[in-house]
Structure 1
Amino acid sequence: MKKGVFVFLSILLSNLYVFAQSNAEFGIKGGLNLTFFNVEQANFGPNAETEVGYYGGIFVDVHIDESLSIQPELLYIGLGDFEFLNAPIYAKYEVANNFDILVGPSLNYFFDFFSNKFKVRGDVSVAYHIIKPLDIHMKYTIGFEEISPNGLFIGLGYRL
């Protein structure tokens, strides 16, 4: 288990290093996480349970052109007694001045919760740049498996 996490993080960090050689910006982000559990369905459902947690991590924004970029992230998420790593890989598009839409797969490694520790989910996110280095963002994560939770993330990002 620990070896798999180490290999996963090594590959992700080496990719971030390669991206850093191009036109890229680095940053940190963090905020509040609301996770919705429903064992019968992977949606809010009528009897969903909600857990409140936190998240924090790093990102790199690799510019392809003026309005399009790729933004991989590595986030640590704490949710009650559960902890996991979330590594979304976003296609980011600036739809208006200071307003971005991000969409892409989310690779997740759960430390404690599931017997199948690795899960792929889908993310849809929006970000508004309050000032050039500071943004406020919100993302919704969709679990594709029956017991995979959905989550709503609200937080701040800061470009270094």
Structure 2
Amino acid sequence: MIKYLTFTIFLLSSLFLEAQSNSNIGIKGGVNFTFFNVDESNFGFNQDNATGFYGGVFLDIEVDKAFSIQPEVLYIGLNDFQFLNAPIYAKYEVANNLDILVGPSINYFFDFFSNKIKIRVDLSTAYNITRALDAHIKYTIGFQEITPNGLFLGLGYRL
């Protein structure tokens, strides 16, 4: 699993290092709360939620002063259940140091599903504590069968 994450991070970094000079690359991570539909879940003891962690990289490409595009690649671990989450956000500054991020995400599930790629929608908000550090909260909505919804709480750091 680590080799997939390392390769994905390397690929994302390589693709976007040529990006405009008004872009920032960074890292983020935190805690993940995932909610399953009990009738459809098969994640061990028929659980309806799980707590795990996430971490990864992002690239913030500024379009203008208040708007940017922010792709990310995040590794998510919930006990033995692991996957990659790759959202592409439209990021808009709604108030001083407060951003709203919305966009689709492609998710690759390593071991659980036979159809390993799922499309979800991510809704997020981030508060910029400093120029380099932000605190964020994100909610991910799954549309397909057994695609879990998730709540993410964490920190991001621009390098």
Q: What TM-score results when the alignment is normalised by the length of structure 2?
A: 0.86
Q: How does 1:94-105 map to 2 (within 5 A)?
A: 94-105=93-104
Aligned mates of 2:39, 2:22 — CA distance in 1: 45
Moved over 3 A (4+): 8-15, 39-42
Q: Secondary structure at the match of 2:17?
A: helix
Percent identity among equivalent residues?
65
User: Are 2:46 and 1:16 aligned?
Assistant: no
Question: Structure 1 counterpart of 2:115, which letter?
Answer: N
Q: How does 1:71-150 map to 2 (within 5 A)?
A: 71-150=70-149
Question: Structure 2 counterpart of 1:71, which letter?
Answer: Q
In structure 2, do the counterparts of structure 1 residues 94 and 119 end up closer, same or farther at CA, with 3 Å as the change threshold? same
Aligned mates of 1:65, 1:87 — CA distance in 2: 23
- What are the superposed Cα offsets for residues 71-124 of structure 1, whole Å, 9 maximum, x if unpaired? 000111111101111100000000000000000001100001111100110000
In structure 2, do the counterparts of structure 1 residues 133 and 13 end up closer, same or farther at CA, with 3 Å as the change threshold? closer
Number of equivalent positions: 150
Q: CA deviation at 1:41?
A: 7.0
Aligned mates of 1:48, 1:96 — CA distance in 2: 39
Q: How does 1:15-54 map to 2 (within 5 A)?
A: 15-19=15-19, 21-38=20-37, 40=39, 49-54=48-53
Does the 8 Å CA contact 1:40/1:146 hold for their aligned counterparts?
Answer: no
Does the 8 Å CA contact 1:40/1:147 hold for their aligned counterparts?
Answer: no
Task: Give unpaired runs (5+ residues) of structure 2.
Answer: none
Question: Structure 2 counterpart of 1:68, which letter?
Answer: F
Give the superposed CA RMSD: 2.3
> Which residue of the partner structure matches residue 67 of structure 2?
68
Question: Structure 1 counterpart of 2:16, which letter?
Answer: L
